Amino acid sequence: MSVINQMLKDLEQRAPEPGVVPGVMPVNNKPSTLKVIVISMFVLLIINALGFYIWDLQTRAASSELKAKESVEEGLANQAEQQKPAQLIQATNSSKHISPQQTAVKPTSSAQAEVSQPTTKKLDAIEVETPQQVSESLVEIEKTIEPLHQETRNVFVKVKENVEQTSVQSTKPSKMSVSRRQLTVQELVKQKLTRAEKAVNTNKITTAEKLFEEVLILEPNNKQARRKLAALWFGRKSYQQAVNLLSQGIALHKQDSELRILKARIQLKQGQHKGAYHTLKALPELEQQDYQVMLANVALQIEAYESAIIAYQVLIKMQPYSGKWHLGLAIVYDKNSQFTLAEKEYALALSKHDLSNASAEFATQRMQALGE
């Protein structure tokens, strides 16, 4: 007990005097968590901002890609309307080689993978890193994003250049190639005949004659050019040239009646009745009214009665209802002193009742004279 009492006395002696504040021993404060919370919120905000920025880049890339694709399609459509099929194929092939979709999608996907991987790593590290480490991480993230932004920009620049190049190609005027093709003989003859006809209609006779001559050089068998050239020469009284030209045609076309009629007319114009007869007598059985009438008249003038009789008989065969051919045959018989046959033909001519008053009166008088 004495020991305890002694200790209590010692304590009382050590107790502080009244009014004296006992000294405060410094106490070490624990680190505050407020700073960590603020830094964490700041980091989260930066991460959200980065995520929004990356999302905005992807959205712009997709929108630009769509616009570029529409521009290329519009350029190709305009090119298809203005250019030839061969140029359309060339523009389509070039657009396939520089497709905006193939160029833009790949860098975006690879860049996205690059961003997602570093960002995930940094997020895992931020939870335990100090503010200094957070700042360093942000710098590294910015360094990672900057190449992505630059690469995306390069992609869009390439797409723009390709679209502009396609547009320039579509606006270039299409070139027309003109190739000369040598005309065939038939085409050249047809062309010259058309020009000759126009020259005749405009009274350019010399030009027309020259064109018809060129046609005959190219195609000697062309009867149309020969007849018209002979008619032009006949019109300007170049009779011998026209006769020679027609004789050449008759040699090529022996059965052509029009060439013979034209030649006979020119010969009659020159007073060459025998020449006209020899031209026409080659076709005695031809059933053509103008030909046989001319042959009968020419034969009667030179007293080639047999040819005239044959010509009228062909006419009667062609038109048995006509009295004028019987009257012509009766006159030939009358001149050839074949009076019985002449009287018979006069009667047949009157029986057709188509003669003029003067012809009917002449036939009646000749019948009376032959009957006496």
Question: What are 244-293's pLDDT values in tens digits?
Answer: 999 999 999 999 999 999 999 999 999 999 999 999 999 999 999 999 99
For the full predicted model, state whether its pTM sits above 0.85. no
pLDDT of residue 84: 47
Q: What is the 3-state secondary structure (H, E, C) of the chain?
A: CHHHHHHHHHHHHHCCCCCCCCCCCCCCCCCCCHHHHHHHHHHHHHHHHHHHHHHHHHHHHHHHHHHHHHHHHHHHHHHHHHCCHHHHHHHHHHHHHCCHHHHHHHHHHHHHHHHHHHHHHHHHHHCCCCHHHHHHHHHHHHHHHHHHHHHHHHHHHHHHHHHHHHHHHHHCCCCCCCCCCCCCHHHHHHHHHHHHHHHHHCCCHHHHHHHHHHHHHHCCCCHHHHHHHHHHHHHCCCHHHHHHHHHHHHHHCCCCHHHHHHHHHHHHHCCCHHHHHHHHCCCCCCCCHHHHHHHHHHHHHCCCHHHHHHHHHHHHHHCCCCHHHHHHHHHHHHHCCCHHHHHHHHHHHHHCCCCCHHHHHHHHHHHHHHHC
pLDDT at position 96 is 44
φ, ψ dihedrals at 93, nearest 5°: -65, -40
CA–CA gap between residue 70 and residue 153 (Å, rounded): 19
pLDDT given at position 100? 39
Q: Which of 78-82, 114-118, 234-238, 336-340 has the lowest mean pLDDT?
A: 114-118
Range among 7-21, 25-39, 343-357 rated most confident? 343-357
Residue 346 vs residue 144, higher pLDDT: 346
pLDDT exceeds cutoff 70 at 118: no
pLDDT of residue 169: 58
Architecture of the structural domain at 183-271: Alpha Horseshoe (1.25)
Query: What's the pLDDT at 174?
Result: 53
Q: Average per-residue pLDDT in the chain?
A: 77
pLDDT, residue 37, reads 85
**Residue 109 predicted with pLDDT over 60:** no
The pLDDT assigned to 132 comes to 59
169-224 tens-digit pLDDT: 555 555 555 556 688 888 999 999 999 999 999 999 999 999 999 999 999 999 99
Q: Tell me the pLDDT tens digit for each residue of 255-268.
A: 999 999 999 999 99
